[in-house]
Amino acid sequence: MLQNKEARREVYLEDRIKFEYNIILIGFMGTGKSSVSRYLNENYKMQEIDVDQLIVEKEGMEIADIFQSRGEEYFRDCESAILETLLQQRKSIISCGGGIVLRKKNIELMKENGKIILLTGKPETILQRVKDNTERPILNGNMNTTFIEELMEKRRNHYEKAADLVVETDGKTIKEVAEEIISRLIQE
């Protein structure tokens, strides 16, 4: 059995990854979803799809501007609409915005269409990673661990309900997180 697993792993690594399903990355802002997605795209030749990026392209506006001019609900509607268009997608890395789990329907759609990987991080880690970035409207004016911790706590249930696999990112490089995802998926 172990031998089989090892053999399968070698084939995967030689040939680069051939998962038949989508790998869907979720998690709080600053957990590294987009960076991990980019790493997997560059190193494993998997197609990369970034939900936030698709919203920006479709709306012709940055996320912060969408929040400011149309409001959060409008942004959430865009998010759900984009997710629906990804239904036919296969063998891709789909990186989602941190709030995608807030709608139950989004979780159902993701569950039907891939393996959901939850990236986690401590509030202190998140703050270090996001503190110099002004492109996240939810954190603008709220750049502190208390706010991050409270929001994380409010969302915890949603994230945990959605996740097929949880990968902690504290103290790990993007490469380490990405390789951990691949090796845990192969070992399943």
Site residues (CB under 6 A) for ligand S3P? 29, 33-34, 52, 63, 97-99, 136-138
Q: How far is the CB of 96 from ligand S3P (least distance, A)?
A: 8
Nearer to ligand S3P, 33 or 115 (CB): 33
Side by side, which strands form the sheet with 47-50? 47-50, 92-95, 22-27, 114-120, 165-168
- 46 vs 55 by CB, closer to ligand S3P: 55
CB of 70 to ligand S3P, least distance (A): 13
**CB of residue 19 to ligand S3P, shortest distance in Å:** 22
Residue with smaller CB distance to ligand S3P, 8 or 58: 58
Q: 98 vs 2, 31, 139, CA distance in Å?
A: 36, 9, 12
At position 17, the amino acid (one-letter code) is: I
CB of 63 to ligand S3P, least distance (A): 5
CA distance 33 to 21: 18
DSSP 3-state of 93: strand
